[in-house]
Amino acid sequence: MPLTAPTLDLTADPIELTAALVDIPSVSGDEAALAGALEQALRTQAPHLEVVRCGDAVLARTHLGRERRVLLAGHIDTVPVAGNLPSRRDGDLLHGCGTSDMKAGDAVIAHLAATLTRPRYDLTVVLYDCEEVEAARNGLGRIERELPEWLRADLAILGEPTGGAVEAGCQGTLRAEIRTRGRRAHSARSWLGDNAVHGAGAVLARLTAYTPREVDIDGCGYREGLQAVRITGGVAGNVVPDECVVTVNFRFAPDRDADAAVAHVREVFDGFDLAITDLSPGALPGLSTSAAQEFLAATGTTARAKYGWTDVARFAGLGIPALNYGPGDPNLAHTREEHVDTSVISRCASVLTRFLT
Q: Give me the active site residues, please.
A: 77, 131
> With the CA atoms of 104, 105, 107 and 113 taken in that order, what torsion angle do they form, in degrees rounded to the nearest 10?
170
Is residue 124 involved in binding a copy of itself (CB under 8 A)? no
Q: How far is the CB of 199 from a copy of itself (least distance, A)?
A: 8
Are the C-beta atoms of 138 and 131 separated by less than 8 Å? yes
Is residue 256 involved in binding a copy of itself (CB under 8 A)? no
Q: How far is the CB of 244 from a copy of itself (least distance, A)?
A: 7
Q: Which of the ranges 64-72, 125-133, 153-161, 180-188 carries the binding residues for a copy of itself, by CB under 8 A?
A: 180-188
Tell me the number of residues near a copy of itself by CB under 8 A. 46
Q: Which of the ranges 14-22, 30-38, 169-177, 320-328 carries the binding residues for a copy of itself, by CB under 8 A?
A: 169-177
Can the peptide bond before residue 86 be classed as cis, meaning omega within 30 degrees of 0? yes
**DSSP summary character for residue 216:** E
Comparing CA positions, the residue from 255, 294, 48, 57 lying closest to residue 155 is: 294
Number of other CB atoms surrounding residue 268 within 10 Å: 19
Cα 210 to Cα 202: distance, rounded to the nearest angstrom: 12
Is residue 28 involved in binding a copy of itself (CB under 8 A)? no
Pick between residue 146 and residue 273 the one whose CB is nearest to a copy of itself.
273
Q: Which of the ranges 64-72, 80-88, 153-161, 167-175 carries the binding residues for a copy of itself, by CB under 8 A?
A: 167-175
Is residue 275 involved in binding a copy of itself (CB under 8 A)? no
Q: Which of the ranges 62-70, 294-302, 306-314, 319-327 carries the binding residues for a copy of itself, by CB under 8 A?
A: 306-314
Pick between residue 307 and residue 325 the one whose CB is nearest to a copy of itself.
307
First CA to last CA across the chain, in angstroms?
A: 31
Is residue 235 involved in binding a copy of itself (CB under 8 A)? yes
C-alpha radius of gyration, the chain, whole number: 23
Q: How far is the CB of 191 from a copy of itself (least distance, A)?
A: 6
User: According to CB under 8 A, which one of 28, 171, 280, 299 is a site residue for a copy of itself?
Assistant: 171
Is residue 27 involved in binding a copy of itself (CB under 8 A)? no
User: According to CB under 8 A, which one of 187, 335, 346, 353 is a site residue for a copy of itself?
Assistant: 187
Is residue 251 involved in binding a copy of itself (CB under 8 A)? yes
Residue type (1 letter), 301: T
Q: How far is the CB of 285 from a copy of itself (least distance, A)?
A: 16
Pick between residue 4 and residue 208 the one whose CB is nearest to a copy of itself.
208
Q: How far is the CB of 275 from a copy of itself (least distance, A)?
A: 14
Is residue 208 involved in binding a copy of itself (CB under 8 A)? yes
Say whether 198 sits in a helix, a strand or coil. Answer: helix
Burial class (CB in 10 A: 0-12, 13-18, 19+), 25: middle
Comparing CA positions, the residue from 18, 15, 49, 51 lying closest to residue 34 is: 18
The contacts of residue 243 (CB under 8 Å, 6+ apart) are 179, 180, 181, 182, 196, 233
Is residue 357 involved in binding a copy of itself (CB under 8 A)? no
Cα 192 to Cα 186: distance, rounded to the nearest angstrom: 8
Is residue 230 involved in binding a copy of itself (CB under 8 A)? yes
Is residue 307 involved in binding a copy of itself (CB under 8 A)? yes
Q: How far is the CB of 210 from a copy of itself (least distance, A)?
A: 9
Are the C-beta atoms of 56 and 117 separated by less than 8 Å? no
- Calculate the alpha carbon distances from 112 to 10, 123, 166 in Å: 8, 10, 18
Is residue 234 involved in binding a copy of itself (CB under 8 A)? yes
- Calculate the alpha carbon distances from 265 to 161, 176, 226, 309 in Å: 30, 8, 9, 18
List residues binding a copy of itself (CB under 8 A): 171, 173, 175, 186-191, 193, 195, 197-198, 200-201, 204-205, 207-208, 212, 223, 225, 227-241, 244, 246-247, 249, 251, 278, 307-309
